[in-house]
Structure 1
Amino acid sequence: MIRLFTIASAFVALGLCVAPAAESGKTVTPKINAACSIHLGWQAPASEWFYLEARVEKSTPGSYFMICGWNTGYFGVQELGGGKKVAIFSVWDPTKGDNPDHVKLEERVEVLHEGKDVKVSRFGGEGTGGKSMTEFPWKVGEKIRCLVQAKVEGQKTAYSGWLWQPKSNEWKHLVTFRVQTGGKPLSGLYSFVEDFRRDGKSVGEERRAVFGNGWVKTVDKGLLPLTQARFTASKAPTEASDIIDAGQAEGGLYLANGGKVSPSVPVGTVLSVNSAPTTVPNDLPTELSKP
């Protein structure tokens, strides 16, 4: 099954959690503790790299704005507690189970590159794999630029995460993870907004981000802009599904949840970017052109 959501909500977002049964045998209505996770599934062919920009417009502690996701991993920014902000890039092992120590060495995500001040570790809990994290003091209203590169190497694929550094005006190569994929490139591209604080109070706090100026380099070497995405949402019974929204915004498509957000389009709607990008950014990492 393609993993389209975060580690923290992978199974609940697919609706695999059910309400517990009371002793009487009756179903107990679960308590809502989070705003519903929402996603944009970008329509694109198999690709060698995936570039996307985001602009966070509203945030609160415990928010995840995932910018570049694909069928075996994800890449984005988070606001943690105490004002701390980070970037995170993760790739799943091609195995089932939640204990990272139970995965055979030859099936684990390999680390080929670890950037300066980037913490790389194994994760478990809901799926297993490799995770990287670095402090990244992004700001509301500021453009965030992410790029994922995929290089097929036999039956494996090496995924590199690149993050634009506004202060130094350069790209930073965070990490390269390699994993068994059967020799497949990037596919299943998506973005999402998630409330991972899940303390009940976070439901009443709004998160909003705009995603746009997206590009992919397809496996046949063609460059294509990302112009359409399908709006989807978690089916988790503990997430408030009536305070979500998506639609067109200046520079792309927006996702919003929590607080006083109300839906303007139904889940499942295919949204089109109002003004499709026409020119690929000319300052992408030079490594993209290397064989």
Structure 2
Amino acid sequence: MNLRLCIAASLWACLHPGAANAQHLWWDRGGQEDATCLYGEVTVLATSPHIYYCGANWHPGEPAGGYCGIQHNSRRERRTIFSIWDTSPTLHPRVTEADPATVHNRFGGEGEGGHTHMIWPWKEGETFRFFVRKEAGPEPGTIAARYYVFDPNRDGWRHSATIVSPTGGKASVGTIGGGLNSFLENFAGRDKEIPKLAIYRLWLGPDPAHLKCLTKARGDGTWGRLRDGFFLAEGAPARLDELYRSLEPRYGKAVVAAKGKGKDVGPISDRPLPAGLVRELDHLPRAAAVGGQPAPAR
């Protein structure tokens, strides 16, 4: 798929949370207002091309809001995406560190900001794991947001990119919060009858040692609980019912929310992260600087 179209489609989903082609989970952050770390898991169980599975979308519509997740672009390509919007029309983010496989540039159209992605051949039934951490940036008045993905082929974490944003005095730049949500977006608006389904889980906190499992969420579209996580789905009702039945032996019975925004299906279990994973998240590798030393903040 054309890169510009992919970026525009992903940005449309983030800026238009009521879009007809998307289903959303709106997470209860449990009172966390100053979180700077986010660990997440997305398990896609059914898919088709032109679907974006956004693992997390923080501070949507606010200065330096951002999002990350996995995308099924075409029958031949899948990728992971990490992007952050501008702080203001004159304060722009920049990519300062990146994996050799990461593509990075600016996006425009429905808002503007910094975009990164890596070709990432994720698989159905395999859990995609990601981690975002915000810290003080390399210059005064900046915040660095680092995006990591777990590579099962290397059995280790990869630092996909760091995006540095000028704060501009805006509180949203330094935290991960706001209207925190996850979504499933059919950005081409095609093949809506074909079943797609993904399970989402998020952990939020001020540092890896204090990441807390988010156990409550509300949704819109087709959503519910499955295998102690929240799921989002798209597809013809009869075909989704068939999918739920086929998944039941391994994943248990799906609890599907009644139609209507904000309906409740109850919480999922509080699942503390294993101590070994916490240690990994606190000692992650760093990718090489982009183009030598980062440029001064605007």
Q: Return the TM-score normalized by structure 1.
A: 0.75
How far apart, CA to CA, are the structure 2 residues paired with 1:143 and 1:174?
18
Amino acid across the alignment from 2:25: L
Choose between structure 1 and 2: higher helix proportion. Answer: 2
How far apart, CA to CA, are the structure 2 residues paired with 1:187 and 1:11?
15
CA contact (8 A) 1:148 1:160 kept: yes
How far apart, CA to CA, are the structure 1 residues paired with 2:271 and 2:14?
31
Amino acid across the alignment from 1:40: L
Deviation, structure 1 residue 84: 0.9
Is structure 2 residue 248 aligned with structure 1 residue 255? Answer: no
User: Which one of the candidate residues 277, 281, 287 is aligned to 1:285?
Assistant: 281
Is structure 2 residue 57 aligned with structure 1 residue 74? Answer: no
Deviations 1:43-102 (A, max 9, x none): 22131200011110111000111112211111100111133111011000023xxxxxxx
Match of 2:270 in 1: 276
Q: CA 1:280–1:39 in structure 2 vs 1: closer, same or farther (change >3 Å)?
A: farther
Deviation, structure 1 residue 210: 0.4
Task: Calculate percent identity across the aligned residue pairs.
Answer: 25
Match of 1:112 in 2: 96
CA contact (8 A) 2:25 2:181 kept: yes
Amino acid across the alignment from 1:56: V
Match of 2:149 in 1: 163
Choose between structure 1 and 2: higher strand proportion. Answer: 1
Deviation, structure 1 residue 248: 1.1
Deviations 1:213-239 (A, max 9, x none): x3222379743221111213xxxxxxx
Deviation, structure 1 residue 275: 2.3
Deviation, structure 1 residue 281: 5.6
Deviation, structure 1 residue 280: 4.0
Deviations 1:78-129 (A, max 9, x none): 111133111011000023xxxxxxx54xx11121211121000110111100
CA contact (8 A) 1:6 1:74 kept: no
Q: Return the TM-score normalized by structure 2.
A: 0.74
How far apart, CA to CA, are the structure 1 residues paired with 2:17 and 2:176?
22
SS in 2 for 1:285: helix
Deviations 1:129-168 (A, max 9, x none): 0111111100001111011111144543211110000111
SS in 2 for 1:282: helix
Match of 2:187 in 1: 196
How far apart, CA to CA, are the structure 2 residues paired with 1:92 and 1:40?
21
User: Which one of the candidate residues 205, 219, 222 is aligned to 1:217?
Assistant: 205
How far apart, CA to CA, are the structure 2 residues paired with 1:121 and 1:172?
19
How far apart, CA to CA, are the structure 2 residues paired with 1:135 and 1:196?
18
Deviates more, 1:152-161 or 1:82-91: 152-161
Match of 2:84 in 1: 91
User: Which one of the candidate residues 12, 17, 37 is aligned to 1:13?
Assistant: 17
SS in 2 for 1:230: strand
Match of 2:21 in 1: 36
Where does structure 2 lack aligned partners over 5 or more consecutive residues? 1-8, 60-64, 242-255, 287-298
How far apart, CA to CA, are the structure 1 residues paired with 2:141 and 2:159?
24
CA contact (8 A) 2:216 2:266 kept: yes
Deviations 1:6-51 (A, max 9, x none): 4123454347xxxxxxxxxxxxxxxxxxx63111122221312000
User: Which one of the candidate residues 34, 38, 42 is aligned to 1:50?
Assistant: 38
SS in 2 for 1:278: coil
